[in-house]
Amino acid sequence: MALPRVVLRPLGGEALTTVVLEKLPALRVGIEGEDSKQPVYVSLPSLDLCTHLEWVARTALQTTEQQDAQLTRDLERENARPWPDVATHSPWRVIVYLNLADGWADVAFAVHHALADGKSGLVFHNHLVETLNSQVTPIQLDDKKDSTLVFTEQPTIIPSQETLIVFTLSWSFFISTLWRQLGPAWLQGSPTAEPYVGHRVTLEPKLKGNLRVFHLASDRAAALLKSCNAHGVTLTALIHGLMLVLFAQRFSANVATSFEASLPISMRFCVPKSANLDVSRNLGNLVCSHSYVYGRDAVADGRDTAVSKADDDEKVWRAAAAMGASIKARLANITEDNVLGLMGWVLDWHRWWRDREGKIREGTWSVSNTGPISATGELPMESPAPPPWKITRNFYTQSSLGKDPLISINIGGVRGGELSFVVAWHHGVVQDDFADCFAKDLFACLERHAVGGHFAVPDRLSTQETSLC
C-alpha cells in the first residue's frame, strides 16, 4: 500500500477517472478463479468508481505523532481488509484521509499484489499527481454524478515476468531448490540451525500485522544519503548493516551465530526493449527476492563492544558494504539460477502456500526500498507557475504473511525531501515490546548519525529484554 501525503491547493477530483481510463489499464481487470489452481485476469466491462474511492474526514489532532499514530492504526486495519468478488470487482481502492483544516491529505493506494508490486505504488501516485496538476478545472466526485466507467476496449497489461524475461537454470540449482521446497520439514534442518530466523512458520486463518512509522526530515535525510555516498553504499545496504548490528546486540552468541537478510529487487531493468513496453509507467509484478547470510564472523563483529564511536560506526559500514557487494554481484547475473525461472513448475499455488506450514522462516529481517518519488510526478510541467498539487512524503506497507522474516523495514521518500520508514512484524512472531524497542532504536541511530555523524549503537540499546513469542 503506497501512501503519499499531498498538499491540496485546491482539493481535486476526477483525476482518478483519467488514471483508470487512460493511464493504468491494470485497474480495469479482475481475477477469475482466485481460489483455483489456474487463476486468470479478466477484462471488466465497467467499474463504479465510488466503490474504489473512499473519503475519511480527519478530526483535529494536536501533534504530528498523534496524527501518525492514528494513520498507523488505520493502515493496520486496511492491510487486513479482504478483497471480495475479485472476479467482478478489480481489487484496488484509494482512501483519502482528509485534513482540510491544515490543507493536506494522506492518499492511500491499496492494491492486490496480483496486480502490482511495490514500485507500482510510485507509478500510480506519479500518474495521479501529474493528472491533478494538468486539470484546468478540478471537479470533485459526488452523488449527483454518475461514477460508472464503461470500457469499450480490452486493456493491455504487463505480462508475467517469467514470460517477459529469459531465465537460465543450472541442474544443481534446480534440484536443490526442489528439495528445499518439496522435501519433508523434518529433513529441512533444526529451527535453531544457522541462520537464526526464530520459530518455524505457523500459518493462521487471519494474521494481524503491526506497524510503526517514523520519518527523517529533509535535512536529516540529505545528511544520511551524503554519508552513504561517501562510504560507497546505498541506503538499502546501510539499513541492512545497521540491522545486523542491532540484531547482534540483541541476541547472544548461544542463541544466534548468523542471520539471514533479504530484500526485493526490481526486475524492470531486465525487460528487453524488444517487448515494447514502458514498464516504468505501468502497474505489474516485476520483482524477485535476494538473500544474504551474515555469517559467524560478521555477527561476532557486530556484537563486540566498540572502543570508540568511530569503531562503532565502522561495524555498521562494514556490514553495509558486505550487503552492498552481495547485491551488486546478484545484479550482475540476476536472470541466472533465479527461483522465478521455476514458477511454471508450481501447479497448485494454494497447496504450495499451505506447505509452508512448519518450514523455516524466510529470513531474520527484510529491507525494501522503492526509492524516492518526485513531488509533482515524473513529467515536466509546461507552466512556470507552482503546481497546485505536491507530494510531501511517501511510504508504503503490505499485508502480514506468516512465512515472512521476523521484522520488515520498508523505505520510501520524496526526492529532495523526507525519508519515511515503516517497521512491520506479525502478531505472535515477535513480542510487541521487542519490536517497539527495535523501531525506536533504529530511528534513534539514524537520527543521531544525521545530526552528529555517529550511529552511537551502544552495547545495549535499551533495558527491554530480548523476547520472542
230's CB contacts (< 8 A; 6+ apart) are none
Does 319 share its domain with 230?
yes
d(CA 314, CA 320): 10
Name 264's bridge partners.
Answer: 289
Does 307 share its domain with 413?
yes
Among the three residues 93, 124, 150, which one is the final residue of a domain in this structure?
150
d(CA 284, CA 121): 10
Does 66 share its domain with 165?
no
Q: What are all long-range contacts of 181-187, with beta carbons under 8 Å and residues at least 24 apart?
A: 181/352, 181/355, 182/355, 185/358, 185/359
Q: Which three cell numbers stand for residue 353?
A: 502456500
Among the three residues 103, 127, 150, which one is the final residue of a domain in this structure?
150
Three-state secondary structure call for residue 98: strand
Q: Residues 195-221: pLDDT tens digits?
A: 999 988 887 766 788 999 999 999 999
Mean pLDDT along residues 234-244: 98
Q: What is the DSSP string of 218-283?
A: HHHHHHHHHHHHHHT--HHHHHHHHHHHHHHHHS-TTT-S-EEEEEEEE-GGGS-GGG---GGGS-
In a domain, 155, yes or no: no
Mean pLDDT along residues 358-366: 90
Q: Confirm if 196 and 261 have CB atoms less than 8 A apart.
A: no
pLDDT band at 184 (very low <50, low <70, confident <90, very high): low
Does 30 share its domain with 177?
no
In a domain, 461, yes or no: no
Does 412 share its domain with 321?
yes
In a domain, 156, yes or no: no
Q: Confirm if 105 and 356 have CB atoms less than 8 A apart.
A: no
Can you give the CATH number for the domain in which 271 is found? 3.30.559.30
Q: Confirm if 398 and 79 have CB atoms less than 8 A apart.
A: yes
Q: Residues 430-439: pLDDT tens digits?
A: 889 999 999 9
Q: Determine the residue type at 59.
A: T
| Predicted confidence (pLDDT) at residue 59 exceeds the cutoff of 50 | yes
Does 37 share its domain with 95?
yes
Q: Confirm if 112 and 31 have CB atoms less than 8 A apart.
A: yes
- At residue 353, the pLDDT reads 82
Q: How many domains does the chain have?
A: 2
In a domain, 173, yes or no: yes
Does 332 share its domain with 233?
yes
In a domain, 133, yes or no: yes
Report pTM. 0.91
Does 289 share its domain with 416?
yes
| Predicted confidence (pLDDT) at residue 363 exceeds the cutoff of 70 | yes
Mean pLDDT along residues 172-182: 76
Burial bucket for residue 417 (CB in 10 Å: 0-12, 13-18, 19+): buried
CB atoms within 10 A of CB 287: 18
Express as a percent the part of the chain with pLDDT over 90.
60
Does 321 share its domain with 301?
yes
Three-state secondary structure call for residue 392: strand
Please state whether the peptide bond connecting residue 195 to the residue before it is cis, i.e. omega within 30 degrees of 0: yes
Q: Which residue has the cell 520498508?
A: 410
Does 234 share its domain with 351?
yes
Q: Confirm if 397 and 1 have CB atoms less than 8 A apart.
A: yes
Least confident of 30-44, 182-196, 261-275: 182-196
Can you give the CATH number for the domain in which 76 is found? 3.30.559.10
Express as a percent the part of the chain with pLDDT over 70.
87
Does 122 share its domain with 208?
no
In a domain, 168, yes or no: yes
Summary mean pLDDT of the chain: 87
In a domain, 356, yes or no: yes
In a domain, 468, yes or no: no
Show the domain range for 246.
161-452
Q: Confirm if 118 and 370 have CB atoms less than 8 A apart.
A: yes
Does 124 share its domain with 173?
no
| Predicted confidence (pLDDT) at residue 192 exceeds the cutoff of 80 | no
Mean pLDDT along residues 55-84: 87
